[in-house]
Amino acid sequence: MNKNDRSSLLEGKVILVSGASGGIGRGVCEAAAYHGAKVAFLWKSNREGAAQTQEMLEEIGAEYLSLCVDLARPEAAAETVLQVEQKWGSLDGLVNNAAVSESIPFVLIEDEDFAKLMEVNLFSSFRLCREAVRLMVRQKYGRIVNISSIAGSHTIPGPVHYAASKGGLDGLTRSLAHEVGPYGILVNAVSAGIFEGGLKSTIPANHLKRYQEASSLSRFGEPRECGEFVSWLLSEKNTYINGAILSQDGGTLG
C-alpha cells in the first residue's frame, strides 16, 4: 500500500494509538494512515516492531509521531497527549490498544501479577481517556475506541486477571460514553477475538485450535480488518454509535 491508495475517511484527523508495535495496534495505524489520518503511535520495548510500524507509515506517506512510552507510569498519559497536541494542535481520536497477558492458572496469580496487568490493560487506558477527554471537550469533538476482548464478556478459557481487565474496560467504555456524549465525544469498544500477531503468541496452542475450529470463518482475524473497523468508528461517518461493545470475532462465539 502506498500514498496513492489513500482515502479521505480520516483526512486531517489526529489519531493516537497505544500498543502499536505490532498486531492490532499496527493494523489500526495502517488503516488510519490509509484513510488520511496523522498517526501518533506508542510503544514500549519492541523497538524492531516499532520500526516496522514507522516504515509502514512512511510507505503510505502519512504524517506520524513515534513515541516510546511506559504507560505504567501514571504521568505518562498526560505527557503523551501534550506531545501530540504540541505537534499537531489537536487530538481527534484515541485508540487504547496497549495490553499484556500471561497464561497463569488462577490459583497461581499473585497480587503483584494482578496489579501489574491491570496497570497496563485498564489504568493506562483510563488515564489516556482522561487526558484525551480534557482536550476533546475543548474541541467539542472526539472519538475514543477501546480495544477490548471476548474474554471480558464470555466464558472462555483464559487468564482470569486478563478477563477482569477487559471486563473493566467495557464498563469504563459504557459509563464514559454516557458522560461525554453531550460534548460531541463518542466512546466505543471493540470486543476482539483472536487476531494474528500481538497477544496471540501468549495463548496456548490447544486454545488456539479450539478457537479456530469454532470459528465460522475457520481462521484468525487479520490486524488490518480490525483497523478498518476502528477507522470507521473514529470517523465523522460515525454519528450515532456510542457506548457500544462491538464484537469482532468472525462469528466464533455466535
3-state secondary structure of 143: strand
pLDDT tens for 151-207 read 767 666 668 999 999 999 999 999 999 999 999 999 999 999 888 987 777 777 888
- Grid coordinates of 83: 506531545
**Active-site residue flag, 141:** no
Asked if the model's pLDDT at residue 40 lies above 70, the reply is yes
Contact yes or no for 172/180 (Cβ under 8 A): no
- Closest Cα partner for 28 from 95, 103, 98? 95
The H-or-E segment that residue 27 falls in is helix 23-34
pLDDT tens for 101-148 read 888 899 999 999 999 999 999 999 999 999 999 999 999 999 999 999
- Main-chain dihedrals φ then ψ at residue 184, nearest 5 degrees: 80, 20
Q: What are the residues facing 190 on neighbouring strands?
A: 147, 246
Q: Which CATH superfamily is domain 3-248 in?
A: NAD(P)-binding Rossmann-like Domain (3.40.50.720)
Contact yes or no for 220/162 (Cβ under 8 A): no
- Main-chain dihedrals φ then ψ at residue 216, nearest 5 degrees: -70, -20
pLDDT of residue 209: 87
State the greatest distance between any 2 C-alpha atoms of the chain, in Å, as a whole number: 53
Q: Choose, from 141, 162, 211, 240, the residue flagged as catalytic.
A: 162
CB atoms closer than 10 angstroms to residue 107: 6
pTM of the model: 0.94
The Cα 210–Cα 219 span in angstroms is 11
pLDDT tens for 91-101 read 999 999 999 98
